[in-house]
Amino acid sequence: MRHILRHWSSVLQRRPFFVLPLSPHRSLCRHASTTKPLRPIMSGPSEPMAVVAPSFSSDPASLAAHAPQVLSNGVNGRQEDSSSDEEMPLSQHTPKKINGANGKRIANPSSSNSSEDDRPLTKKPRVSTGLARKRIVESDSEQESSAGPSSPPAPPVKSATKPPSRSNGAIKPKSKARSPSDSELSSEDERPLAKKGSKAPKRSASPVKKPAAKPRKSYKESSGSEDEKPLAKTVATKGRKSNGSASARVKKEEESEDDAPLAKGKKRASAGADSSTARKDVKKKVKEESGKVKKEVKEEDDEEMYKWWEQGENDGSVKWTTLVHNGVLFPPPYVPLPKDVKMKYDGQSITLPPESEEVAGFFGAMLETDHVLDPVFKKNFFNDFKDMLKEFPPKENIRITSLEKCDFRPMYEHFEREREKKKAMTREEKKAIKEAKDKLEEPYLYALVDGRKEKLGNFRAEPPALFRGRGEHPKKGTLKKRLRPEDIILNIGKDVPIPKPNIPGNWKGVQHDNTVTWLAHWKENVNNQAKYVFLAASSSWKGQSDRSKFEKARELIKHVDKIRKDYTEDLKSKVMADRQRATALYFIDRLALRAGNEKGDDEAETYGCCSLLFEHVTLSPPNTIIFDFLGKDSMRFHQEVDVDIQVFKNIKIFKAEPKKKGDDIFDRLTTSGLNAYLNTQMKGLTAKVFRTYNASWTFQQQLKTTPKNGTVQEKIAAYNTANREVAILCNHQKTVSKNFEQSFAKMGDKVRALKYQRMKLRYQLFTLEPKMKKKRADLAESESDMDDEFMERHEEELREKAVEAAKKKFEKENTKLVAEKEKAQPKSVLDERLKEIKAEFKELAKERKTKKVEPKKGATVEKLEEQIQKMEARIAAARVQMEDRDKTKDVALGTSKINYIDPRLTVAWARKYDVPLEKLFSKTLREKFPWAEAEADADWVF
């Protein structure tokens, strides 16, 4: 055996070998016939090497067939000293993976001296090819525990003064390899990537001990400094790990070898164009990485959004497990008016208690509105005002019996002065008021639902006021009384603190019903209707309710043909109740009428299909029916409709004598009975589902008229036209605004202003190339609506705007100069600017008369023609917008868009026709319908 070892010793002196992973306890250093371990075989007087043999028997033939292999003490299979490194070919300098028993990377420790024991592994240099080396990290304890057939070989030992420690014949590593210094690297290529062309950073002289029990770190975690990470990995990982802002992340990512941001690093030796280019490159890189980080942050935010639509259907019984909120926010108490502000009765000032004064102030604030001219409004107000005066009479004991003798003008003038004061407030004062308001409302903005933060909708208790109503509401002018905690019932989770009201008082009741989604409930005094506090429209509960509603309408598509067939047959039924039900269904399906409910004596007189009276329907032969009644919110429904002959005959029968004015047309039909019948046709079907179905179906059909190659504005106009048809179908009317004519006239002026700009471009073109008048006869024609009166007025408006802008700029410049402790500009500077503006507009008037405009510098025929073409496109878009505005002036498009049209139709249409969704859905609506954006692609259909 000894002569074999001597033979291999001579071989090892000539050429080093790589080792195979073997088990230390089966090495050649522990021969079966030897009682004590052999000393390591040295490759030279000063070059110790560890010899490791594979696991085989000790017979000479086997030993000869398996040559032992050597693991040198260098990095990636190289010896650490320069002589062996020079002898090794460049191809052998590439990184090698050394896998342990569990696929871990194993460190190659060295033992240069005993004082370096337990020193952490320093950073390895990159190979001469410029490739980043893999870091190999392992603790001493991990190396000791790696045993078995696939364990790594024992590392080499390099020590001239002290032999390596041994344990049971195996060599135990004591210290870790060091990195060669920059002086040891023979060329620039052998430097790590972060060190090229720059001075290496200083490192601490004292080693830092690494706890043996601490788990091994990954490649990313083991890097001691940022400069030695590959740049690609540094940028890719830090954006995800950092918890700071996007700008902070980018700044950190751009650290150089001396730990300073690149943008603020030391100046390079090169100057001039090179340094400028470098700075531009840095800014470009920072911008690119900032975009990446912002994208990652946005993606993280999107991931945090509660995507309830991906959670599956809720059974509908239990809505929540835990519910925490702070109740409702009550308005502040009434502040009495100044003592010198008093209403007058029959010319005499009277002093009212705060309770009566508040009600009088409600009417006084509305003196210049149409409400105070409405007889119903005035009658209802004065009745409630007299009731309040009975309980809280004036101090002068004057009996108020006539509204005409009441003079609320002093109150109105006081409120107007307060409004003017509010308008005159500085930005800081307005900001302070807003901050105080936000601080007061902050606790009420959100609720915790099953530990999830959800925004509330109407968390404020309604303040007292005069009820205005809509349309011809019989209760308009009635006093809405002030709400108190004793009027409100809370719904909240069990075992959670009961919120305390922000005004004195106790809640009417507290319950813990997890089958409902309201948080607070009360009844208002005007119509005796239930009012609720719900989560916001963007909440998961509201979203689930909306989606369920539209999915129910989509399900109706499968059953609607059968339902129509059945009610068409029942139109001729001999059973009068069935005939009435079929006729009502016909109206609900074809006209999108609401079902309607019975009203009490103290409720508003509004009607639906099932509650129509004798006088609400007029027959006009041969088959025309005229509807005229007050619908929801007392909005008038007045339409003439051509119906089937059988339907016309049925209504004639239902109105036959002895029926008279005030009698029900469908006297054998109720809303509950109708919905019960519909539920037998389709589970969960009610008359209301028909409105949603018809609105969405009609909208989808109307959208087919969208011009595929039209402009964005033309496509939006087609969208609004489709929406208008749905609004008309659902009777979503609105009163034409008082300011409509004025705003519409401004839109006309905007179009003419664009034409004015086009006119100036035409004049420049003709001045530059007179022959264009014959070539482009269309441009030579004068605008029909561009008269001198408008142009003079328009130029005056432009001049005033220019003067105002010049003054503001002058003030801003002087403010900045004063802040920098410099001398302000004299008024003569402003006067000179104003003089120039005056001269410019004097020239405009001259151009208008001569119809000659000097072309601007650099103007060409091609450029001017292109500008004219763009201006014509803007004019066309403005005209389309005007026409669209005129068509929809008396129709409320929002109601149908929000409540009746499936939002997925809008999303799909926008994607199909390449129209930005934000032009159709406001930010609030996009927050309300995130599920629609997630589900609908360009091919989605209702």
Strands 344-345 and 406-407: antiparallel
Listed in sequence order, the residues at least 6 apart from 703 whose beta carbon sits closer than 8 Å to its beta carbon are 718, 719, 722, 905, 909
Reduced to 3 states (helix: H, G, I; strand: E, B; else coil), residue 871 is helix
CB atoms within 10 A of CB 646: 15
Q: 645: closest CA among 576, 584, 573, 572?
A: 572
CB 526 within 8 A of CB 660: no
Alpha-carbon span 97 to 95, nearest angstrom: 7
Residue 477: which region, alpha, beta or left (left: phi > 0; alpha: psi -120 to 50)? left
Rg (CA), the chain: 44
Listed in sequence order, the residues at least 6 apart from 852 whose beta carbon sits closer than 8 Å to its beta carbon are 763, 766, 767
Alpha-carbon span 265 to 262, nearest angstrom: 5
Spell 83-115 as b/e; 16+ CB within 10 A means b. Answer: ebbeeeeeeebebeebebbeebbbbbbbbbeee
Alpha-carbon span 236 to 240, nearest angstrom: 8
Reduced to 3 states (helix: H, G, I; strand: E, B; else coil), residue 384 is helix
Alpha-carbon span 774 to 685, nearest angstrom: 69
Q: If you write DSSP's letter for every residue of 535-595 in order, what string do you get?
A: B-TTSHHHHHHHHHHHHHHHHHTTTHHHHHHHHHHHTT-SSHHHHHHHHHHHHHHHH----
Residue 695: which region, alpha, beta or left (left: phi > 0; alpha: psi -120 to 50)? alpha
Alpha-carbon span 72 to 91, nearest angstrom: 17
Active site residue 444: no
Q: Which of 345, 719, 900, 913 is catalytic?
A: 900
CB 536 within 8 A of CB 682: no
Measured at the CA of 329, the angle between CA 323 and CA 334, to 5 degrees, comes to: 165
> What is the 8-class DSSP label of residue 99?
B
Alpha-carbon span 424 to 418, nearest angstrom: 10
**Hey, what are 400's tokens?**
């108020």
Residue 665's DSSP bridge partners are none
Strands 509-511 and 489-491: parallel
406 sits in which H/E element: strand 406-407
Q: Which amino acid is at 429?
A: E
> What is the 8-class DSSP label of residue 799?
H
**Hey, what are 233's tokens?**
């990995």
Q: Which amino acid is at 562?
A: K
Residue with tokens 């409910």: 597
171 sits in which H/E element: strand 170-171
> What is the 8-class DSSP label of residue 42?
B
Residue 438: which region, alpha, beta or left (left: phi > 0; alpha: psi -120 to 50)? alpha
Distances in whole angstroms, Cα of residue 933 to Cα of each of 435, 472, 902, 928, 930: 34, 39, 12, 10, 5
> What is the 8-class DSSP label of residue 749?
H
CB atoms within 10 A of CB 600: 8
Residue ranges of alpha helices (H) inside 682-785 are 687-702, 712-729, 740-768, 772-775, 777-780
271 sits in which H/E element: none
Which residues form the catalytic set?
Answer: 900
